[in-house]
Amino acid sequence: MNETLGEVSVPLPLERTLHYRVSEEVRASVALGSPLEVPFRNGTLHAYVLGFPETTDIPESKLKSATTVLAAEPLFDADALTFYRWLAEYYCTPLGEVLSTAVPKLPWDESKMPARARKPSAFLLGLEKEGVPTQAPPLSDEQQNALATFQDPIDRRPLLLQGVTGSGKTEVYMAAIAAELDAGRTAIVLVPEIALTPQVLRRFSERFPGKVACLHSGLTPKERLRQWRRIRDGSARIVVGARSAVFAPVTQLGLLVVDEEHESSYKQEDSFRYHARDVAIARARQMGARVMLGSATPSFESLRNVETGKFRRVQLHKRVRAAVASVVRIVDMRDRNRRYRQDLAWLSVDLVDALQKTLNDGHQAMVFLNRLGYAQYLVCTDCGENWKCKHCDVTLTYYRRPAELRCHYCNYRRRPPDLCEKCSSDKLEPVGLGTEQIEETLREIFPTARLARLDRAAVKTRRELEDTLMRIERREVDIVVGTQMLAKGHDYPGVALVGVVLADASLAVPDFRAAERTYQLLTQVSGRAGRAEIPGTVILQAMQPEAPAIVAAATGRFEGFCKTELEARQAFRYPPFTKLALVRFSHRNESTVQQFARDAMLRLLRASREAGVIRLEVLGPSPAPIGRVEAMHRWQALLRAEKSSDIQAAVRWLQTWIEKEKPSVKVSADIDPMNFL
């Protein structure tokens, strides 16, 4: 029988692609991009055809045959492959891992799917219904100006749409999308954590009935396949989804929208560590599409791109529906006279009074703290013992209902001890604060108010989340206590008050973006109040009320804060003025990981000096801020350079060296890292 060769990519951290024997019959039914099952070691792997080479250096005897074709239709074309290869280069990630993210494994054989997965949710089916679209409102002058700028026939640079929360950015996206659809093109809209914000999806599907597909990681395999097919066959012309939707298999792409472009959830934190905003810009360039990045609080990367002329910017200054701007107050929590009760360092008379007023007026309030559980940890007040995770270098978070100590890193759980395990004392006290405690205290103060909690512990499933959000929307809830789940994208006109319990909590994180993030988070949370006719009040309780990030969020005077922060970044040579890669080392044995990390970085530095072409700085190696997770000791080093290409050259050198050394230490590299813990 006549045979040819097939080159395939498999979802393994291999730098190489693999070669297989392909029979004439298989060859006739596949093309570039077809999914195949191939034998590998003692099992099989899901692979994609990359090409049909003439020769191979694998000996005839070792060459295995690929016999199982999973689907006749190719899942990507040559252009897409070029793009995936570019991403693999940029992020120093094996092509196979890029493909496993970009082209998700789909359950082609529906008969083999578990019964549980067969029924798509009513919500997703609702996307397919044709119907009467909600009317687009006439755009305001500001919105119209933004749209016209975006559609400039000559200037096609990415547009940063900087508009305060509630200024009508989403309406601008929808108007731009409507125009692309009229011109026969398609659109992708990325939103952070779509599962948290079903409201956004509903707005799109009501404006464009039957034309919207949704992609995110919470879909069942069947749901994903269905959405995928609707995109592929062109019946869905708008894809709304979380970060991986940036890879949606659209043709004729006209527009890519990245909503809340500053959100760190756009960065994938494992295997293929891409940033969906950056990938969106690259994909739009490749497909000749335009990009719109929206945010009330743009990332400093994007602001810098405006400064250098890579991006354009339009601002929306006014809230569309709100008659007046929200009143924002900072409460200095160092002042003991401001305490509602002397034993509660976190609750001010100001916030309690404002809550009371809101309840009296029949309005709704949100109280925000970005900390889960009842308290940060449990301590023995006789001997000082506290309870840490068995596997990680962190204290266990104390939960009261049900009583439990939990590790937020590895999910280890145990019952809290009744007596101290060291000194047998029964004087165990919770220290620190979490949303559970806030809810409990507010229930005591406002016994007749209807409370709800919105955080990962209270709301575990999509169903529970949708339920809680629905109750808020129907005004069956008076006070919502929550974590950052509250901060994102919700648009509830009944909310008159937002209280932030510890506005400076996120400033203490060891990350050069701490101030930027704090400012962004506070602005986003504050934006939940006063969205319609009801005037909004925001109360920021802080121990450092003069911190620039807090003042900027309270006053909305962002330019000064941004300028100072950017100057500091430049002085200390941090992004957006430099490029970084974070190299992580982990191993069970602490001295092994330490020695290896030091050796690897020394060699890298020596090699980069010898090469003389790449200009590289190595910060560290040093123990990671959380030195042990899941029983693995962690060290890390930061690579810094002026140019991306130097960072990539360094990481590639390291990867090649490691492939030769085959160390027992696990090493990973994160290009453009967003998380340093």
226: which 2 tokens?
């269905």
Q: 519 with 549: CB under 8 angstroms?
A: yes
Backbone angles phi, psi at 387, to 5 degrees: -105, 120
Nearest distance in Å: CB 325, ligand ADP:
14
Q: Which of 9, 93, 101, 143 binds ligand ADP (CB under 6 A)?
A: 143
Q: Which of 94, 168, 536, 621 binds ligand ADP (CB under 6 A)?
A: 168
- Please classify residue 291 by burial: count the beta carbons closer than 10 Å to its beta carbon, then call 0-12 exposed, 13-18 middle and 19+ buried: buried
The residues pairing with 537 across neighbouring beta strands, listed in sequence order, are 327, 497
Q: Which of 9, 100, 170, 586 binds ligand ADP (CB under 6 A)?
A: 170
Nearest distance in Å: CB 662, ligand ADP:
51
* CA dist 367 → 421, 500, 514 (Å): 36, 6, 21
Q: 597 with 585: CB under 8 angstroms?
A: yes
- Tell me 448's DSSP state: T
Q: From ligand ADP, Zn ion, none, which one binds at residue 171 (CB under 5 to 8 Å depending on kind)? A: ligand ADP
Which residues, 312 to 331, sit near ligand ADP by CB under 6 A?
320-321
Nearest distance in Å: CB 395, Zn ion:
10
CB nearer Zn ion, residue 339 or residue 391 = 391
Answer yes or no whether residue 305 interacts with ligand ADP by CB under 6 A: no
Alpha helices in 308-368 (DSSP H): 349-360
- Please classify residue 572 by burial: count the beta carbons closer than 10 Å to its beta carbon, then call 0-12 exposed, 13-18 middle and 19+ buried: exposed
Answer yes or no whether residue 536 interacts with ligand ADP by CB under 6 A: no
Q: 67 with 74: CB under 8 angstroms?
A: no
Nearest distance in Å: CB 364, ligand ADP:
16
How many positions of this chain bind ligand ADP (CB under 6 A)?
16
Nearest distance in Å: CB 378, Zn ion:
11
Nearest distance in Å: CB 555, ligand ADP:
19
| Long-range interactions of 108-115: CB distance < 8 A, separation 24+ | 108/35, 108/70, 108/71, 108/225, 110/222, 110/225, 113/221, 113/222
Nearest distance in Å: CB 537, ligand ADP:
19
Which residues, 476 to 505, sit near ligand ADP by CB under 6 A?
491
Three-state DSSP state, 173: helix
Angle of CA points 85, 91, 97, to nearest 5°: 65
Q: From Zn ion, ligand ADP, none, which one binds at residue 139 (CB under 5 to 8 Å depending on kind)? A: ligand ADP
Nearest distance in Å: CB 648, Zn ion:
33
Answer yes or no whether residue 171 interacts with ligand ADP by CB under 6 A: yes
Answer yes or no whether residue 33 interacts with ligand ADP by CB under 6 A: no
Answer yes or no whether residue 165 interacts with ligand ADP by CB under 6 A: yes
Which residues, 645 to 664, sit near ligand ADP by CB under 6 A?
none
For 106, residues 6+ apart whose C-beta sits below 8 A from its C-beta are 71, 221, 224, 225, 228
Three-state DSSP state, 484: helix
For 89, residues 6+ apart whose C-beta sits below 8 A from its C-beta are 648
Query: Could you tell me which stretch among 163-171, 281-289, 379-387, 428-436 binds ligand ADP (CB under 6 A)?
Result: 163-171
Q: From Zn ion, ligand ADP, none, which one binds at residue 103 (CB under 5 to 8 Å depending on kind)? A: none
Q: From Zn ion, ligand ADP, none, which one binds at residue 170 (CB under 5 to 8 Å depending on kind)? A: ligand ADP
Answer yes or no whether residue 431 interacts with Zn ion by CB under 5 A: no
Nearest distance in Å: CB 237, Zn ion:
45
Comparing CA positions, the residue from 401, 497, 483, 498 lying closest to residue 440 is: 401
Nearest distance in Å: CB 420, Zn ion:
3
Q: Residue type for 461, please? A: T
For 355, residues 6+ apart whose C-beta sits below 8 A from its C-beta are 365, 367, 442, 445, 446, 479, 497, 499
Nearest distance in Å: CB 234, ligand ADP:
27
Q: From ligand ADP, Zn ion, none, which one binds at residue 140 (CB under 5 to 8 Å depending on kind)? A: ligand ADP
CB nearer ligand ADP, residue 317 or residue 422 = 317
Answer yes or no whether residue 192 interacts with ligand ADP by CB under 6 A: no
The binding track of 110-139 with respect to ligand ADP, each residue x by CB under 6 A or -, is ---------------------------xxx
Nearest distance in Å: CB 182, ligand ADP:
19
- 493 half-sphere exposure, CB direction, 13 A CA radius: 9
Answer yes or no whether residue 140 interacts with ligand ADP by CB under 6 A: yes
Nearest distance in Å: CB 139, ligand ADP:
5
Which residues, 370 to 429, sit near Zn ion by CB under 5 A?
380, 382-383, 385, 389, 391-392, 407, 409-410, 412, 420, 422-423, 425
Answer yes or no whether residue 520 interacts with ligand ADP by CB under 6 A: no
- Please classify residue 571 by burial: count the beta carbons closer than 10 Å to its beta carbon, then call 0-12 exposed, 13-18 middle and 19+ buried: exposed
Q: 313 with 400: CB under 8 angstroms?
A: no
Gap between the Cα atoms of 379 and 375, Å rounded: 10
Q: From ligand ADP, Zn ion, none, which one binds at residue 392 (CB under 5 to 8 Å depending on kind)? A: Zn ion
* CA dist 359 → 144, 326, 329, 364 (Å): 38, 18, 19, 7
Q: From Zn ion, ligand ADP, none, which one binds at residue 409 (CB under 5 to 8 Å depending on kind)? A: Zn ion
Residue with tokens 């994102």: 488
Q: 561 with 552: CB under 8 angstroms?
A: yes
Q: From ligand ADP, Zn ion, none, which one binds at residue 626 (CB under 5 to 8 Å depending on kind)? A: none
Residues that bind ligand ADP (CB under 6 A): 137-140, 143, 163, 165-171, 320-321, 491
Residues that bind Zn ion (CB under 5 A): 380, 382-383, 385, 389, 391-392, 407, 409-410, 412, 420, 422-423, 425
